[in-house]
Amino acid sequence: MTLSRQARIRRAFSRAESYDLHARPQEAAAHRLAGLILQRGLPHGASVLDAGCGTGFLAQRLAAQASVGRYVLADLSPVMLGRAVRRLDASPGRLRIGLRPGAPLAVAMDIQAPALRPGFHVVVSSMALHWTENLGQALAALWSLVRPGGLLAVCLPGAGTFGPWRAAHQALGLPCGLQDFPSQEDLAALFPAPPEIIEEVHPLALASALDLPRHLRAVGGRVPRPGHTPLAPGALRAVAALADASPAPMAYHALHALAFRPLTH
């Protein structure tokens, strides 16, 4: 039986048992996004949707610093979702699973088709939207859940991410399995309203470029772009050698984008 791409992505993240040990850039990006949200202010008792919550890096930071009324964790992987729930249950912050009896607080969900009612004060997604099939559609779906005056805040890898790896493939005339990541201009054009965009670089501490595929497997990012055929070992070593010779760092270029939904009159 051939699995769909979405099913393979779900399986890859569900099998990433050492995610928290290897996902330092994802953790840093989530904490930065949480800080940007807090700088803009959260009303007391705010409702928050954390779409693509992973293991709960962002939720834990918001829970520790903001008084949130209803926090909905959502992820494609039920395994990741369960780990996020356990993280929050063990957190010293204000947020607790079961805070409001009857409220949906953890849901397995496809970001592109969220089965939730609109009206959130904040809809946030950190380092998850690049796995959707259509980024513009996913952003529009999340925007539809933001209440007037509310905030959509997202973070995802930008065009410079893993630049030496991609450039080495191109120089050798080899197909690269990395998906395309948006530039700041691309992301702004897809956003439902003009966003504020902040780019930050999170270098990876790799002994060799050959460690990049291992890192991606460890954080659930093992599914290549559609139609990609893996390189032979010799070709992969040639790519890694050329990437290692690059003066540019192997890094995540995290794009943080935030926009308020206009108030209706």
pLDDT above 90: residue 91: no
For range 198-225, the mean pLDDT: 95
CATH of the domain at 99: 3.40.50.150
Kindly state the average pLDDT of the residues 38-58.
92
Q: Mean pLDDT for the chain?
A: 90
72-98 as b/e, with b when 16 or more CB fall inside 10 Å?
bbbbbbebbbbbbbebbeebeeebeee
Q: Domain containing 70: what range?
A: 5-261
| Position 94 confidence tier, pLDDT thresholds 50, 70, 90 | low
Instruction: Give residue-wise pLDDT tens across range 233-260.
Output: 999 999 999 999 999 999 999 999 999 9
Task: State the average pLDDT over residues 78-101.
Answer: 72
Average pLDDT, stretch 176-198?
97
Quick one: pLDDT at residue 93? 59
Mean pLDDT of all residues in 139-157: 96
**What's the whole-model pTM score?**
0.91
Q: Tell how far CA 57 is from the center of its chain.
A: 11
Contacts with 150 (C-beta within 8 Å, 6 or more apart), sequence order: 120, 121, 122, 123, 260, 261
| Counted domains in the chain | 1
